[in-house]
Amino acid sequence: MKNMVSNSAATGLSGSKPAATIYDIARVTGFSPSTVSRALHKPGRVGPDTEKAVRAAADSLGYRINPMARFVTTGRTGTIALVVSDITNPVFFDLVRGAERTTAELGQTLVVAETLSSSEIEQKTVERLLPTVDGVILASSRLDQGLVRRFSEVKNVVLVNRHLDDVPSVVPQLLPGIRDAVDHLAELGHKHIVYLSGPSALWMSRQRFKLLAAECNRAGLSIISTSPAEPTMEGGRGAVGEVMACGASAVVAYNDLMAIGFLLACAEENRAVPGDFSVIGFDDIFGSRFTSPPLTTIRTPLLLVGEQAVRRLAEPNGALPLETDDALATEFVPRRSTGPCALS
Task: Specify the pTM.
Answer: 0.79
Contact between 197 and 254 (Cβ < 8 Å): yes
What is the model's pLDDT at position 199? Answer: 96
Strand 169-170's sheet: what is its strand order?
109-114, 79-84, 135-139, 156-160, 169-170
Q: Which residue has the higher pLDDT, 11 or 322?
A: 322
pLDDT, one tens digit per residue, over 201-222 is 999 999 999 999 999 999 999 9
Does residue 342 surpass a pLDDT of 50?
yes
The stretch 93-101 carries a mean pLDDT of 96
Q: Does the pLDDT at position 302 exceed 90?
A: yes
- Please give the mean pLDDT across all residues of the chain: 88
Task: Examine the pLDDT at 9 and tell me if it is beyond 70.
Answer: no
pLDDT: which is higher, 8 or 272: 272
The 10s digit of each residue's pLDDT in 306-317 is: 999 999 998 765
- For residue 304, the SS3 value is helix
At 14, the pLDDT band (50, 70, 90 cuts) reads very low
Asked if the bond preceding 176 is cis, omega within 30° of 0, the reply is no
pLDDT at site 161: 95
113-136 burial by CB neighbour count: b if 16+ within 10 A, else e?
bbbebebebbbebbeebeeebbbb
More confident residue, 196 or 343: 196
What is the mean pLDDT of the segment spanning 80-99?
95
Q: What is the mean pLDDT of residues 73-87?
A: 84
Q: Does residue 225 contact residue 204 with C-beta atoms inside 8 Å? A: no
DSSP notation for 206-268: HHHHHHHHHHHHHHT-EEEEPPP--SSHHHHHTTHHHHHHHT-SEEEESSHHHHHHHHHHHHH
- C-alpha 280, offset from chain centre: 21
What per-residue confidence (pLDDT) applies to 19? 78
Q: What is the pLDDT of residues 27-57, one digit of tens each?
A: 999 998 888 888 877 666 788 888 889 889 9
Residue from 286, 283, 265, 289 nearest 337 by CA: 289
**Cis, bond preceding 293 (omega within 30 deg of 0):** yes
| Predicted local confidence at residue 15, as pLDDT | 47
pLDDT at position 20 is: 82
Q: Which domains does the chain have, with CATH numbers?
A: 2-65 (1.10.260.40), 79-172+304-323 (3.40.50.2300), 175-300+329-333 (3.40.50.2300)
**Residue 258 pLDDT class (50, 70, 90 cuts):** very high
Residue 319 pLDDT > 70: no
Helix, strand or coil, per DSSP, at residue 117: coil
211 φ/ψ angles, rounded to the nearest 5 degrees: -70, -35
Distances (CA, A) of 5 to 12, 14, 16, 18, 20: 10, 11, 14, 14, 20
Residue type, 181: A
Chain Cα centroid distance, residue 75: 26
Q: What percent of the chain has pLDDT over 90?
A: 71
Contacts 24+ apart (CB under 8 A), 22-25: 22/63, 24/61, 24/63, 25/54, 25/57, 25/58, 25/61, 25/63
- Residue 10 — pLDDT band, cuts 50, 70, 90? very low
pLDDT tens digit string along 146-190? 999 999 999 999 999 999 988 999 999 999 999 999 999 999 999
Question: What is the rounded CA–CA span in Å between residue 258 and residue 252?
Answer: 9
> How many other CB atoms sit within 10 Å of the CB of residue 76?
14
Q: What share of the chain is helix, strand, coil (3-state, %, to 5)?
A: 50, 15, 35
